[in-house]
Amino acid sequence: MVPVRYPDLGMILKGQNSVSDMAAAAVEQISRAQPHGHVRLLGHSLGGAVAFDVATRLLAAERSVKFFGILDTSLMGERSSSWETVTRTIHRIRNNRVTASRMACRALAKATTAIGREADLARIVDRRTKGQFNVTYFRIGQELQEVLRAKAYFRWLVQPRSVLPITAILFRCDRKKMPQALGWNHAFAQVDVVPSAGSHTDLVMQPHLAVNGPLITNAVLQTYSPDEFPTRKAGYSRDCASNPEPDRTSVQ
């Protein structure tokens, strides 16, 4: 698996601040790494939206998208209430997922973008981190980048999109009162929903990764033919084959 890099904070502030810009950067990286052959995409959270735009571009260019996996991305655009946000934050702090200082940096980034002063905050961070690394200002810059990317995601949600003629696999965490396919059934010819362990923020962390990792690996391996993957070790193949097929619900 090759991770895709999105435009950084400097590029975002220069105008590359949309999901389309992220997808364009991703396609360029994919073309360099794999100019020919099948492409397999896996996106978590914002990455699910970027992967959709990437798949749209690849299919338009007559590239084959052999696998499309979504790690708990929702197209419903749900927003948590203030109480839900507070309780979730406390839970994450108690479980050492985030620190209080990081949440303070995120709050500062959100407040700054809300009044349109993100460029000013970025300049302060840049000045403070020159010459000597400063953890606090580095974290502020990272949180500002994530807040701006989140804004890009919410703008993308309301944009029209075509239905892709492929099947997607949605690895879905437990979300109360949410449709089973989280809106993706309107974006693909078919969506297979795989129940996954953990929450949206920690499904790719231990201990949940021990459960979700094999589900994702098996789903990807099933899209390979012997000619594509001739060097796969026999022991590894048997290990994967011995795992039971995950429960899936197909959504048209």
Question: How many CB atoms sit inside 10 A of residue 117's CB?
Answer: 12
126-176 confidence digits (pLDDT tens):
888 776 778 888 899 999 999 999 999 999 999 999 999 999 999 999 888
Given 3.40.50.1000, 3.40.50.1820, 3.20.20.70, 3.40.190.10, which CATH number is that of 38-78+156-251?
3.40.50.1820
Residue 11 predicted with pLDDT over 90: yes
What pLDDT score does 237 carry? Answer: 30
Better pLDDT: 34 or 98: 34
pTM, whole model, 2 decimals? 0.84
CA angle centred on 45, ends 90 and 76, rounded to 5°: 95
Give me the pLDDT at residue 175, please: 83
Does residue 197 have a pLDDT over 90?
yes
**Residue spans per domain, the chain:** 38-78+156-251, 82-154
Helix 82-94 with 100-114: angle, nearest 10 deg: 150
> Is the pLDDT assigned to residue 212 strictly greater than 90?
yes
- φ, ψ for residue 164, nearest 5 deg: -85, 135
* Helix axes 118-129 and 135-157, enclosed angle (nearest 10): 150
Tell me the residue type at 132: Q
Contact 91, 128 (CB under 8 A): no
- More confident position, 218 or 84: 218
How far from the centroid of its chain's Cα atoms is residue 188's Cα? 17
* In contact, 55 and 165? CB cutoff 8 Å: no
3-state secondary structure of 231: coil
